[in-house]
């Protein structure tokens, strides 16, 4: 199963890489004083909806992602045929769909009107705008001092972490679920409810896979998957690691814990 999913993901990543040289993202302008105040008060640098998209590239990528995804399985094929009829006939309609990536009520309405799964619609949109989001986030990488931000949400856009990683010297880093920024966090604290009671924080892993674990919080009953890269002989790609550790999501769910956000596959 994982081989099929990874092959599918690889095709999309290759299309994203083709788009990268075509991106035209204006430099983000944030005054230094504003940055200092935002970080001190616990506010992210920009709002999720304030990211700027390179719309021509995003539309082109949306068309490619739809084409690739139609070969994934019968269900996606059927849903994407409906999406293509609704949006790909008009560039303007496609642009509106992509530009409202953050508008949950709008996406809910579209999914209900077309009678398709919102998870599939969201996946197509996210994969299409991801290069633009990452390009703008890279412009902001140097704006945050890691020592000034030890919170459980992204300092750039305020989104929750998708994964965490234990690095050298036991440092814990989080990967933003939206913009892909990585930041330092407290090792013994739940990123979701900020619970730091060590008696309520623990982890588990599948037998024989000590490098891949699930950190759980008994207070809020949520979990986050963590990669201990000190136990690996390669540098992990946390997006890929999220895919190949879906069995841990199943185990965590059976134990009564929830993931506060979906992964890119709608799980």
Q: What is the pLDDT of residues 85-115, one digit of tens each?
A: 888 777 888 999 999 999 999 999 999 999 9
Options 3.90.1670.10, 3.30.413.10, 3.40.1010.10, 3.20.20.480; CATH of 145-254: 3.90.1670.10
For CATH 3.90.1670.10, the residue range(s) in the chain are: 145-254
Higher-confidence residue of 10 and 38: namely 10
Q: What phi and psi, each to the nearest 5 degrees, are found at residue 148?
A: -90, 0
pTM of this structure: 0.88
What pLDDT, on a 0 to 100 scale, did the predictor assign at position 26? 82
Higher-confidence residue of 265 and 57: namely 57
DSSP string, 207-239: TT-TTEEEEEETTT-BEEEEEEGGG-SS---HH
C-alpha span between 243 and 238 (Å, rounded)? 9
Q: Decide if pLDDT at 146 tops 80.
A: no
Percent of the chain residues topping a pLDDT of 70: 96
Using 50, 70 and 90 to split pLDDT, how confident is the model at 39?
A: confident
Mean pLDDT computed over 8-28: 90
Taking a C-beta distance cutoff of 8 angstroms, is the pair 243, 6 a contact?
A: yes
């Amino acid at each position: 199963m994982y081989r099929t999913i990874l092959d599918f993901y690889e095709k999309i990543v290759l299309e994203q890489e083709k788009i990268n040289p075509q991106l035209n993202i204006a430099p983000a302008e944030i005054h230094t004083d504003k940055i200092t105040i935002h970080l001190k008060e616990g506010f992210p640098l920009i709002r999720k909806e304030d990211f700027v998209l390179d719309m021509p590239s995003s539309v082109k990528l949306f068309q490619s992602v739809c084409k690739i995804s139609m070969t994934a399985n019968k269900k996606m094929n059927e849903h994407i045929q409906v999406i293509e009829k609704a949006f790909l006939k008009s560039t303007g309609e496609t642009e509106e769909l992509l530009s409202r990536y953050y508008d949950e009520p709008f996406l809910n309405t579209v999914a209900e009107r077309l009678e398709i799964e919102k998870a599939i619609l969201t996946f197509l949109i996210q994969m299409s705008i991801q290069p633009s989001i990452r390009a703008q986030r890279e412009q902001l990488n140097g704006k945050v001092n890691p020592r000034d931000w030890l919170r459980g949400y992204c300092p750039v856009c305020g989104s929750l972490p998708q994964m965490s990683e234990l690095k050298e010297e036991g440092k814990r880093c989080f990967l933003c679920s939206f913009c892909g920024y990585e930041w330092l966090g407290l090792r013994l604290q739940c990123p979701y409810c900020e619970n730091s009671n060590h008696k309520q924080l623990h982890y588990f892993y599948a037998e024989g896979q000590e490098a891949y674990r699930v950190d759980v919080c008994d207070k809020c009953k949520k979990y986050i998957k963590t990669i201990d890269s000190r136990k690996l002989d390669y540098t992990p790609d946390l997006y890929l690691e999220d895919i190949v550790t879906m069995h841990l999501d199943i185990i965590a769910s059976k134990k009564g814990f929830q993931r506060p956000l979906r992964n890119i596959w709608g799980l």
